[in-house]
């Protein structure tokens, strides 16, 4: 991935590459002449003298040659690129290689003019090794289906920790559904494709032992920390045993009942984590949402014992998965998912009139609170299950 040719925005290209090359080019009509590519180079001003013979999908490159002013089509293998006339002169074309993977590989660039004249140039399009972004749910039982999200999954093979091969149930270019092998171990997942292999940065069944930077501080198997008697708990259908149940009716600024609140009153009175960069850490947990129409879930950390104060000065994160582009709809997950909330998202007060708050020290991460509270269009029901609350290094 580090070897990818750096993509340059079209605006940056106009300000740098075009200024340096296009203005020096001859813009005469090609008069029916055959377009000829002399060479290909990157669009980076710092590497403008770098001639290349291949590039990755999605990279923007510069074709240098003659008789380009009437070129209307540029093809890479059997994939047609979008040609913007603004970036075409008689001697240079700026073009972005399509992201679609070719079906027929010719290792050629093909130019076609408005009068149908064609020419070819040797050039290879490189397909990246698999990109592994996330697991839909990091905690999946043996024999159940895990979902891997990413890209460039081409004829993939999946291996769990210890080189344990897994059965692929279904896959697309961006997602793999795989049956978790019996006896599978916690740890990274490796995906192989016809273009190489990639080991995930995330860990399947991530835990304190597997990943030193992960701290599971409440898994709901033991609940002596629940000194205020908030929330409820269940075990049927959970990812790893017992889990928390938040269920009831919410309303606009309506104080939630105990079943819609959570307070981890840390019995050891020490920060949950003592090392790490706040910008790189996140709160992560598994969630199974059966119904959620409105009203945010407010979460905040504190260090003052026996204080559950939504009006306090602690920075809050407001989780609103029911809100999509400003439109509310009932949010329901298809089973358990893994949710990641960066610590930098903890920045609000309860009504979001202040969004400049921040977690300034790990010493603030002693207790964790949550409640459904805030603006809403009216009363609505919510049913949310949560398990395996942890602090992780997510980037």
Report the predicted TM-score, pTM, of the whole model to 2 decimal places.
Answer: 0.81
- Which two structure tokens, joined as six digits, stand for 12? 């940056």
What are the two backbone dihedrals, phi and then psi, of residue 366, each rounded to the nearest 5 degrees?
-110, -60
Q: What is the largest CA-CA distance in the chain?
A: 85
Helix (H, G, I), strand (E, B) or coil at 334: coil
Select from 368, 228, 373, 358 the least CA-distant residue to 302. Answer: 368
Class of domain 36-126: mainly beta
Cα–Cα distance measured from residue 137 to residue 237, given in angstroms and rounded to the nearest whole number: 14
CATH homologous superfamily of 131-204 equals: Immunoglobulins (2.60.40.10)
Location of each CATH 2.60.40.10 domain in the chain: 36-126, 131-204
Judge whether 288 and 354 are in contact, CB under 8 Å: no
pLDDT digits (tens, 9 = 90+) for 237-279: 999 999 999 999 999 999 999 999 999 999 999 999 999 999 9
pLDDT tens, N- to C-terminus, the chain (395 residues): 333 333 334 444 444 444 445 444 444 455 689 999 999 999 876 666 689 999 999 999 999 999 999 999 999 999 999 999 999 999 999 999 999 988 898 999 999 999 999 999 999 999 999 999 999 999 999 999 999 999 999 999 999 999 999 999 999 999 999 999 999 999 999 999 989 999 999 999 999 887 888 999 999 999 999 999 999 999 999 999 999 999 999 999 999 999 999 999 999 999 999 999 999 999 999 999 999 999 999 999 999 989 999 999 999 999 999 999 999 999 999 999 999 999 999 999 999 999 999 999 999 999 999 999 999 999 999 999 999 999 999 98
Terminal alpha carbon distance of the chain: 16
- State which H helix or E strand residue 112 sits in: strand 108-113
Select from 315, 343, 333, 345 the least CA-distant residue to 136. Answer: 333
> What's domain 214-393's architecture?
Sandwich (2.60)
Cα–Cα distance measured from residue 23 to residue 89, given in angstroms and rounded to the nearest whole number: 9
Helix (H, G, I), strand (E, B) or coil at 13: helix
């Amino acid at each position: 991935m580090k070897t990818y040719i750096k993509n340059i925005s079209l605006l940056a290209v106009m300000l740098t590459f075009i200024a340096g090359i296009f203005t020096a080019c001859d813009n005469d009509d090609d008069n029916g002449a055959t377009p000829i590519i002399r060479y290909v180079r990157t669009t980076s001003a710092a590497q403008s003298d770098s001639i290349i013979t291949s590039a990755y999908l999605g990279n923007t490159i510069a074709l240098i040659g003659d008789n380009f002013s009437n070129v209307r089509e540029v093809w890479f293998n059997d994939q047609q690129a979008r040609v913007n006339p603004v970036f075409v002169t008689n001697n240079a074309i700026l073009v972005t290689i399509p992201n679609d993977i070719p079906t027929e590989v010719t290792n050629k660039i093909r130019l076609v003019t408005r009068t149908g004249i064609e020419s070819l140039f040797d050039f290879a399009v490189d397909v990246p090794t698999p990109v592994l972004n996330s697991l839909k749910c990091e905690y999946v039982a043996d024999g159940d289906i895990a979902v891997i999200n990413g890209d460039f999954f081409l004829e993939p093979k999946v291996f769990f920790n210890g080189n344990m091969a897994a059965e692929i149930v279904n896959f697309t270019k961006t997602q793999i559904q795989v049956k978790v092998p019996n006896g599978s171990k916690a740890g990274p997942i490796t995906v192989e494709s016809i273009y190489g292999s990639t080991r995930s940065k995330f860990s399947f069944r991530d835990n304190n032992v597997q990943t030193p930077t992960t701290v599971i501080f409440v898994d709901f198997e033991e609940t002596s920390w629940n000194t205020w008697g908030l929330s409820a708990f269940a075990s049927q259908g959970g990812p790893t045993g017992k889990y928390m149940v938040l269920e009831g009716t919410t309303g606009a600024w309506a104080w939630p009942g105990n079943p819609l609140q959570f307070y981890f009153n840390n019995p050891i009175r020490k920060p949950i984590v003592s090392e790490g960069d706040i910008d790189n850490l996140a709160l992560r947990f598994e969630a199974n949402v059966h119904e959620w129409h409105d009203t945010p879930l407010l979460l905040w950390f504190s260090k003052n014992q026996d204080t559950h104060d939504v009006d306090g000065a602690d920075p809050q994160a407001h989780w609103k998965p029911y809100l999509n582009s400003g439109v509310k709809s009932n949010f329901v997950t298809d089973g358990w998912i893994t949710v990641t909330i960066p610590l930098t998202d903890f920045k609000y007060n309860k009504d979001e009139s202040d969004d400049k708050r921040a977690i300034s020290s790990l010493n603030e991460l002693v207790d964790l609170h949550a409640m459904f509270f805030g603006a809403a269009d009216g009363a609505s029901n919510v049913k949310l299950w949560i398990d395996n609350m942890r602090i992780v290094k997510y980037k």
